[in-house]
Structure 1
Amino acid sequence: MTYDVEALLPRLSSFRPSDRSELARWFADGSRRATALSAVKEFVEVWDRAKWLEAYSIERIGKWIAKTQPKIVVEDLEEWGSRYPTEARQALIEGLRLGAQLREKETA
């Protein structure tokens, strides 16, 4: 795990407005987007290894990503989450689905 990914993980854990703003900057910057994606994937994988699952935290992140971030980010996470469907990855995909529905309602 890189230093940047490690630095972003606490932001995913707390997920305050300031954390979301920082993550949004990483997703918006094409040269740093892959690092932000890696951080989200690592966050989900940490939950995969945990003895229990806090699905809401993962869904909340997925919902925010689908609602606010570029489609390329959403597609990458959907593909990654579907490849090996664990409970944590399914929570991410559910959040992405819910966020996409909200985005559609807002643009309609």
Structure 2
Amino acid sequence: MSEDVQILISRLGTFRPSDRSVLDRHFDDMARQQIAVEAVKEFVRIWERADWLEAYSIERIGKWIAKYKSDAIVTLFDNWCRTNPTSARAALARGIELGRVSRRELV
């Protein structure tokens, strides 16, 4: 795992506005987008291996992704969640669904 991915994982853990700004820049820059995608996936994988699950932390990341990122990114994560429906991926999928609802309300 690259250092950039590790840094983003730590930011996903706190997910403050400043963390979201850094993630925004990665998702919006095609050269760094894959780093952001891998960081979110690895963050979820870490929770998959944990003894317990803090679903809300994962859900809020999914909600943010669905609300503010491109449809292509949202679909990528949605499909990834379906490939191996663990509790952690289900939490991300729930967040994505909540974010889609919020996004529709903005329009």
Shorter-normalised TM range: over 0.9
Quote the residue 1:29 is aligned against: 29
TM-score, length of structure 1 as denominator length: 0.97
Tell me whether 1:18 sits opposite 2:18 in the alignment.
Answer: yes
Tell me what 2:98 maps to: 98
**Root mean square deviation, CA, Å:** 0.5
Which amino acid in the other structure matches residue 97 of structure 2? R
Structure 1 unaligned regions, length at least 5: none
1:9 and 2:9 matched:
yes
Q: Name the CA distance, whole Å, in 1 between partners of 2:3 and 2:10.
A: 12
**Partner residue, 2:89:** 89
Gaps of 5+ in 2: none
Aligned residue pairs, count: 107
Identity of aligned residues (%): 52
Q: Following the alignment from structure 2 to structure 1, what is the Cα–Cα distance between the partners of residues 2 and 85?
A: 25
Displacement over 3 Å in runs of 4+: none
Residue of structure 2 equivalent to 1:42: 42
Give the aligned partner of residue 62 of structure 2: 62
